[in-house]
Amino acid sequence: CIFKFFVGGSFFLGGGVLRGRGARAAPKKKRGPRNTNPRELLVKMNAEPAWTSKTLQVRYAETDQMGVVYHANYLVWFEIGRTDFCRQHGFAYREMEQQDGLYIMVAEVRCRYKAPARYDDDILVRTCLKAIRKRVLIFGYEVYRQAADELLAEGETVHVITDREGHPRSLPDKYRDLFAAGPNGQG
């Protein structure tokens, strides 16, 4: 048995809506640009990106009740790697904020966990700039347990260059040049 009833200008039938007299159709939504995937819009840096490395030691406070590093700490390590990457390319991120009023805002994060890190492990955070665009940077990361040269996690972050108010801005050429020169100017 199918029930049909009339409410506010529309006929309802089994959960679906059938339009009756006087019913208004919902306004059509405007479509944005179809190509909104940042990976499709970016220009790749080099075939082989230049990696920088930062050694860290897992602190007890970074582990959970199971004795392994809590998953969110990998994102903190990504930030440490990214900050060190900038230093090794000739500038401090803090200087970018203070002198140019620019910020590297995180828009997207991806992390794939391969094996757990544990308290007191010596780990190596490797960072590279995978792609660069006028207003977008994509960094790649690898986290290794140094003793066994074991990959623990890999990931990437997508960033938008903004001003103090959060408005998108172009990355100045001086930073592009520093990135292109490679770590410690050895590009």
What residues contact 151, with CB distance under 8 A and at least 6 apart?
114, 115, 142, 143, 144
As a whole number of angstroms, the distance between CA 77 and CA 54 comes to 9
Catalytic residue among 64, 120, 122, 177: 64
As a whole number of angstroms, the distance between CA 135 and CA 132 comes to 8
Nearest partner of 143 among 79, 77, 84, judged by Cα: 77
* Residue 64 bears catalytic tag: yes
pLDDT in tens, the chain (187 residues): 444 444 445 444 444 444 445 555 555 555 544 444 444 434 454 457 889 999 999 999 999 999 999 999 999 999 999 999 999 999 999 999 999 999 999 999 999 999 999 999 999 999 999 999 999 999 999 999 999 999 999 999 999 999 999 999 999 999 999 999 888 766 5
As a whole number of angstroms, the distance between CA 125 and CA 77 comes to 7
